[in-house]
Amino acid sequence: KIYTPPREIIGKVPGLRNEEMHRHKERGFCCGAGGARMWMEERIGKRINDERVDEALSLNPDIVSTACPFCLVMLTDSVNGKKNDGKAKESIQVVDVAQLLLESVKTTAEEPPPAGEAKTADEPEPEPVK
């Protein structure tokens, strides 16, 4: 169970507001999709993915992220349903943590270099060593 190092990396992404839902880390609430709950219809009570999304929406996020591919499916399903019902803002996104990190690298790579430094993209490629 590794919780802190990934959060430290995410915390370094510029412009990202990182907030935890009240059930996280050791007290995390699994949506059960890895155990095939994504195909089950609840007969009583609230769907687990709706419960988790309600917890996330209480923080008023622009992005909800997860590293679990099963949670990604479950959270996306619930967010889309809430958008259709007018209970979630249309702009909210559900993304994999890896997508957040990739976008942060792309954005950083596209920024112009500091004044006085050459732009590396204009420099010719070095010849391979023979």
Residues with Cβ within 8 Å of 37's Cβ and at least 6 positions away in sequence, in order, are 31, 48, 74
- In this prediction, residue 113 carries a pLDDT of 59
Q: In this predicted model, which residue has the larger pLDDT, 106 or 89?
A: 89
Residues forming a β-bridge with 63: 93
Q: For residue range 95-112, what is the model confidence (pLDDT) as tens digits?
A: 999 999 999 888 555 666
Rounded Cα–Cα distance for residues 35 and 6 (Å): 24
Mean pLDDT of the chain, nearest integer: 84
Residues forming a β-bridge with 94: 64
Q: For residue range 27-77, what is the model confidence (pLDDT) as tens digits?
A: 888 877 777 766 777 677 788 889 999 999 999 999 999 999 999 999 999
Please report which confidence band the pLDDT of residue 122 belongs to, taking 50, 70 and 90 as the band edges. Answer: low
Rounded Cα–Cα distance for residues 127 and 130 (Å): 9
Q: In this predicted model, which residue has the larger pLDDT, 81 or 24?
A: 81
Give the percent of the chain with pLDDT over 70.
78
- Single-letter residue type at 111: E
Rounded Cα–Cα distance for residues 129 and 121 (Å): 20
In degrees rounded to 5, what are phi and psi of residue 75? -65, -40
- In this prediction, residue 114 carries a pLDDT of 63
pLDDT of 3 higher than 60 = yes
